[in-house]
Amino acid sequence: MKQTQPHILVIFGASGDLTKRKLIPAVYNLHQKDLLGHPFAILGVSRTEMNDKEFREKMREFLPNDDSTSDFISHLHYQPIQTAEKSDYPKLSDRINQLKDKLGVPANIVFYLSTPPSLYHVIPEYLNSVGLNTEDDGFKRLIIEKPFGSNLETAKELNKDLLKYFKEHQLYRIDHYLGKETVQNLMVLRFSNSLWEPLWNHKYIDHIQITSAESLGVESRGGYYDDSGAMKDMLQNHLLQLVAMVAMEPPTIIDADAIRNEMLKVFQSLRPLKRESLNETLVRGQYTASHIKGEPAKGYREEKGVDPDSRTETFVAMKLHIDNWRWAGIPFYIRTGKKMPTRATEIVINFRPTPHHLFDTMDISLTKPNQLIIRIQPDEGLLLKMGLKEPGAGFNVQPVDLRFHYSDLSDAYVPTAYERLLLDCIQGDATLYARGDNVEQAWEFVQPILDEWAENPDFPLHGYPAGTWGPHESEKLIAKEVNGWRYPCKNLANDGKYCEL
For 146-180, how does the pLDDT look when each residue is reduced to its tens digit (9 = 90+)? 889 999 999 999 999 999 999 999 999 998 888 88
Of 446 and 183, more confident = 446
- The answer on pLDDT for 33 being more than 60 is yes
Taking the alpha carbons of 484, 488, 492, 497 in that order, is the dihedral positive or negative?
Answer: negative
Per-residue burial over 59-89, b = 16 or more CB atoms within 10 Å of its CB, e = otherwise = bbeebeeeeebeebbebbbbbbbebeeeebb
Whole-angstrom distance, CA of residue 117 vs CA of residue 475: 36
Closest CA to 319 of 239, 432, 380: 239
Asked if the model's pLDDT at residue 182 lies above 70, the reply is yes
Helix then strand then coil, % of the chain, to nearest 5: 35, 20, 40
CA distance 224 to 232: 11
Give CA–CA dist 302/309, Å, rounded.
10
Does residue 464 surpass a pLDDT of 60?
Answer: yes
The confidence score (pLDDT) of residue 281 equals 94
What's the pTM value of the predicted model, to 2 decimals? 0.91
Residue (of 171, 147, 169) closest to 161 by Cα position: 171
What would the mean pLDDT of 121-135 be, rounded to a whole number?
96
Q: How far apart are CA 247 and CA 22, in angstroms?
A: 30
What confidence tier does 14 reach under pLDDT thresholds 50, 70, 90? Answer: very high
The CA-atom distances, in angstroms, between 362 and each of 392, 400, 411 are: 18, 18, 45
State the pLDDT confidence band at 358, using cuts at 50, 70 and 90. Answer: low
pLDDT in tens, 92-114: 999 999 999 998 888 999 999 99
Q: pLDDT confidence of 494, banded at 50, 70, 90?
A: confident
User: What mean pLDDT is predicted for residues 5-15?
Assistant: 93
Rounded CA Rg of the chain: 24
Q: Residue 1, CB half-sphere, CA atoms under 13 Å: how many?
A: 10
Strand ranges of the sheet holding 171-174, from the earlier edge strand across to the other edge: 76-80, 40-46, 7-12, 109-113, 140-145, 171-174
If one counts every other C-beta atom within 10 angstroms of the C-beta of residue 42, the result is 28
Percent of the chain with pLDDT over 70: 96
Nearest to 486 by CA among 364, 359, 383: 383
CB atoms within 10 A of CB 118: 8
Residue 370's SS3 state is coil
SS3 of 256-322: the string is: HHHHHHHHHHHHHHECCCCHHHHHHHEEEEEEECEEECCEEECCHHHCCCCCCCCCCCCEEEEEEEE
Helix segments in 166-255, DSSP class H: 181-191, 222-225, 229-230, 240-247
Query: What was the pLDDT predicted at 146?
Result: 87
Task: Give the model's pLDDT for residue 142.
Answer: 97
Residue 365, pLDDT > 60, answer no
First to last CA, the chain: 38
Predicted local confidence at residue 438, as pLDDT: 95
Partners of 291 in the β-ladder:
296
Sign, Cα dihedral of 299, 305, 309, 313? negative
The pLDDT assigned to 10 comes to 97
Active site residues: 238
Please determine, for residue 399, whether its predicted confidence score (pLDDT) is greater than 80.
no
pLDDT of residue 303: 93
Q: d(Cα 18, Cα 114) in Å, to the nearest integer?
A: 7
The larger pLDDT score, comparing residue 393 to residue 495, is at 495
- Closest by alpha carbon to 282, among 441, 477, 450, 448? 477
What is the per-residue pLDDT across 74-86, written as a single tens digit (0 to 9) for each? 999 999 999 999 9
User: Above 70 in pLDDT, residue 69?
Assistant: yes
With beta carbons less than 8 A apart as the criterion, state whether 71 and 107 touch. Answer: no
Q: Which amino acid is at 244?
A: A
Q: Which residue has the higher pLDDT, 27 or 66?
A: 27
Average pLDDT of the segment spanning 264-285: 94
Mean pLDDT, the chain, integer:
90
Tens digit of pLDDT for each residue in 214-249?
A: 999 998 888 889 999 999 999 999 999 999 999 999
pLDDT-derived band at 497, boundaries 50, 70, 90: confident
Mean pLDDT of 299-310: 94
Q: Categorize the per-residue pLDDT at 361 as very low, low, confident or very high, splitting at 50, 70 and 90.
A: low
Confidence of residue 360 (pLDDT cuts 50, 70, 90): low
The torsion angles phi and psi of 54, rounded to 5 degrees, stand at: -65, -40
Burial class (CB in 10 A: 0-12, 13-18, 19+), 444: middle
